[in-house]
Amino acid sequence: MMADDSSGAPAASQGCGAECEPREATYTYAESGALFRRAAQVIPCGIYGHLSPAPCTPVSAYPFFAERGRGARFWDVDGNEFIDYMCAYGPMILGYNHPVVDEAYQAQMRDGNALTCASRKMVELAEYLVDLVPMAGWAYFAKNGGDVTQYATMVARAATGRDKIIAIRGGYHGVEPWMQSPGHDGTIAEDHGNVIRIAWNDVAALEGAIAENPGRIAGFIATPYHHPSFADSEWPGDGYWARVETLLRKEGIVFIIDDVRCGFRLGLRGSNEYFGFTPDLICFCKALANGYPISALVGTDALKRDASKVFYTGSYWFSAAPMAAALACLEELKRIDGPKRMIETGTRLIEGLVAVARSHGFDLRATGAPSLPYLRLTDDESLMLHQDWCGECTRRGAYFTSHHNWFLSTAHTDEDLQRTWDIADDAFKAIRKNRAG
């Protein structure tokens, strides 16, 4: 447990008070830089997509390449060790190289992975998910989150014979052209022709979109709560989900929950259960197999026939080893009540960080679920102060991003939290010193 001083800040495990010099950030990234220069010669962007260095500002504070991971930590190619608060952007939930999950994966690999027929593990995993998730009557497997958010919209169209999808502005569902923000390179205006974007938490906007498109809306897709990048997360307002559910049922619109990011960090039965509503389809991915590649769409019995009408598949979608890993991961999360543990650890992490910030005269705001919180220093609306602080923490061994929500795992320990608070303390001293100088 953290020890508190009178300011409420966790006591530094070593060192002195707010007035003394910060321990210097010692991390440097020469090998990361060299590898990136090689990558840029042969790979567009060097590193693309969500692992691109672009949003990690200041860029000098971050490594680009990781060498290995263990538990809640990873090591970069320069040998720097990080307590990882990004968890591979969500997939790592039980800790890197978890022995139970890895053994399940390896055992299946020894038997066979991508074979000419589907595997027994596929049936077992579908049965497990149908038992685990109350609304689910069936499960369908793919690889990435975007595979199943796309499939969900196809099922909605097959079920209704309608064309339009309502989505939340600023929501992220993957990289299919219609999921990207209009104007992105490689997409065209027509990609968005059947997508209507409305504001989060706005039932009137949903009613308006339905009224303006009579008989045209196939599905509504949203995350369980709103977690955009570069902005605070937003919880559903009072009665929001109940009103949305009633409206969609009345209009015969398929209700899709994208649980790719929140899934298994709020509860194991679907994050909708946490908020008390029932969708028709739920998309899972990220944490489903502790890092092994698999995603799942689960749906109600009523949609099973329509799901079976849609042709949708991929070369590796039947790989048995990630299915074995998913089964082991879910069983382990259930055995240790993983979501409860991550919410508790996240709550303590945040309380400690907020208190450390306060002891240095800063206001650190946390939004979203404690198991995947978005943190932001409110003292500077431009985010630059927050970027500096996250960078100072990262260069001392607590890997924080400033643009994206963080992720907790069941592998984060009390020792990790104490070390993180110590690092945060030094980082606040450093940004005060930098700004003064």
In whole angstroms, the minimum distance from the beta carbon of 234 to ligand PLP comes to 14
Among 146, 322, 339, 370, binds ligand PLP (CB under 6 A): 146
Q: Which is nearer to ligand PLP, 244 or 283 (CB)?
A: 283
In whole angstroms, the minimum distance from the beta carbon of 238 to ligand PLP comes to 23
Q: Which is nearer to ligand PLP, 223 or 290 (CB)?
A: 223
Part in contact with ligand PLP (CB under 6 A); list of ranges 39-47, 132-140, 143-151, 328-336: 143-151
Part in contact with ligand PLP (CB under 6 A); list of ranges 66-74, 187-195, 255-263, 350-358: 255-263
237: tokens are 């307002």
Among 218, 248, 260, 289, binds ligand PLP (CB under 6 A): 260
Residues touching ligand PLP, count (CB under 6 A): 12
Q: Are 399 and 51 in contact (CB under 8 A)?
A: no
Q: Which is nearer to ligand PLP, 258 or 351 (CB)?
A: 258
Residue 261 binding ligand PLP, by CB under 6 A: yes
Residue 153: in which H helix or E strand, if any?
helix 145-160
Pattern 173-192, ligand PLP, x by CB under 6 A:
xx------------------
Residue 91 binding ligand PLP, by CB under 6 A: no
- Residue whose C-alpha is closest to residue 312's, from 146, 175, 189, 423: 146
Q: Which is nearer to ligand PLP, 260 or 353 (CB)?
A: 260
Q: Are 428 and 362 in contact (CB under 8 A)?
A: yes
Residue 164 binding ligand PLP, by CB under 6 A: no
Q: Are 392 and 25 in contact (CB under 8 A)?
A: yes
Q: Which of residues 209-228 bind ligand PLP (CB under 6 A)?
A: 223
In whole angstroms, the minimum distance from the beta carbon of 223 to ligand PLP comes to 5
Q: What is the DSSP string of 244-284?
A: HHHHHHHHT-EEEEE-TTTTTTS-SS-HHHHHT---SEEEE
Q: Are 61 and 69 in contact (CB under 8 A)?
A: no
In whole angstroms, the minimum distance from the beta carbon of 320 to ligand PLP comes to 20
Residue 172 binding ligand PLP, by CB under 6 A: yes
Part in contact with ligand PLP (CB under 6 A); list of ranges 12-20, 169-177, 272-280, 356-364: 169-177
CB-count exposure of residue 239 (10 Å: 0-12, 13-18, 19+): exposed
Cα-based distances in Å from 335 to 42, 268, 339: 45, 11, 11
Q: Which is nearer to ligand PLP, 25 or 375 (CB)?
A: 375
Q: Which is nearer to ligand PLP, 172 or 362 (CB)?
A: 172
Q: Cis ω on the peptide bond leading into residue 91 (within 30° of 0)? A: no
- Residue whose C-alpha is closest to residue 49's, from 187, 177, 174: 174
Residue 149 binding ligand PLP, by CB under 6 A: yes
Q: How far apart are CA 13 and CA 272, in angstroms?
A: 40
Q: What is the DSSP string of 312-375?
A: ---TTTT-HHHHHHHHHHHHHHHHTTHHHHHHHHHHHHHHHHHHHHHHTT--EEEES-TTS-EE
Amino acid in position 343: I
Q: Which is nearer to ligand PLP, 105 or 284 (CB)?
A: 284
Residue 145 binding ligand PLP, by CB under 6 A: yes
In whole angstroms, the minimum distance from the beta carbon of 335 to ligand PLP comes to 26
Among 7, 97, 144, 229, binds ligand PLP (CB under 6 A): 144
Residues that bind ligand PLP in the complex, under the rule CB under 6 A:
144-146, 149, 172-174, 223, 258, 260-261, 285
